[in-house]
Structure 1
Amino acid sequence: MDGLSAHQGGCHCKAVRFEVDLPPHVEVEDCNCSICAMSGNDHIIVPANRFRLLKGEDVLTEYRFNTGAARHLFCSICGVKSFYVPRSNPDGYAVTWRCLDDWQMMDASVTGFDGENWEANAARLAHKSKA
């Protein structure tokens, strides 16, 4: 966990709680896909080994649409999606930035992600990372 520190968060009613290991500066994605745009979901993508669900597995409700690859997980009590399994990183988690207890104190930069044109954007980013 070199340079990483644990941050806790969860849903509005606190039935769902999690912990995630993050670097001192985080990159927050502001996605414009249909579900993120409608819910205002800005998120931080992390590998699964840096995410721990502390409580609430029994109150999570799953929603899938379009390709069915992303697992949108909502608290069945308050309706908040504090994290989900993203289509772009099915082996990780997308943590909702504002669901972190200390989100306002974090050193973060928000970057747009063109989820509305997911396939083209994912291909462009994959090509860019290989360069």
Structure 2
Amino acid sequence: MEHSGRCHCGSVKFYVRAPAEISAVKCNCSICQMSGFVHMLVADDKLRIECGENLLTTYQFNKNIARHTFCRVCGVKPFYRPRSNPSGFSVNVRCLDKTTIESIKVEDFDGENWDLAIRSLHAD
């Protein structure tokens, strides 16, 4: 299924290939908690930017691995390159057009304790 998405002002538009039944993650790290980002991890080839790539700006912090991309016009982060998947993307489910989504299952991730939480994920 192809879902369309955009930032708040519509300057950045994109498409992502993902199931109609979405599995997402809510993280409690500082940036996700403050911005309300709900993650759907996808491979690099699953996301296609339709327009506005020139309006994206990048913010990095801490270990400078994740590349948080924001629309310069409205400040919304529709997707970014996460620390857990630097060769792919994390798409903000809240930026997707709801008409193609059948359901969203959201699980919690303890991003405040990222190193321990990511090790637990890989141990499963």
Normalised by the length of structure 1, the TM-score is 0.91
Does the CA contact (< 8 Å) of 2:26 and 2:37 recur in 1? yes
Q: CA deviation at 1:105?
A: 4.2
* 3-state SS, counterpart of residue 58 of structure 2: strand
Q: Percent identity?
A: 47
How far apart are the structure 2 equivalents of 1:87 and 1:106?
A: 28
> Which of 39, 47, 53 is 2:49 aligned to?
53
Structure 1: which 5+ residue stretches go unaligned? none
| 2:114 equivalent to 1:118 | yes
What's the RMSD between the two structures over aligned residues?
Answer: 1.3
In the alignment, residue 53 of structure 2 is paired with which amino acid? E
SS in 2 for 1:67: coil
Query: How much does 1:102 deviate?
Result: 1.5
Query: C-alpha separation between the residues in 2 aligned to 1:70 and 1:103?
Result: 30
Residues 6-40 of structure 1, C-alpha deviations (whole Å, 9 max, x = no match): 00001011110010001132111100000000111
Partner of 2:33: 37
Distance 2:111 2:67 in 1: 15
Report 1:70-89 matches (<5 A).
70-89=66-85
The equivalent position to 1:68 in structure 2, one of 48, 64, 68, is 64
Question: Residue in 2 aligned with 1:17?
Answer: 13
TM-score, with length taken from structure 2: 0.96
Aligned equivalents of 2:40, 2:101: Cα separation in 1:
15
| Alpha-carbon distance, 1:103 to partner | 6.7
Aligned residues: 124
The more displaced of 116-125 and 94-103 is: 94-103
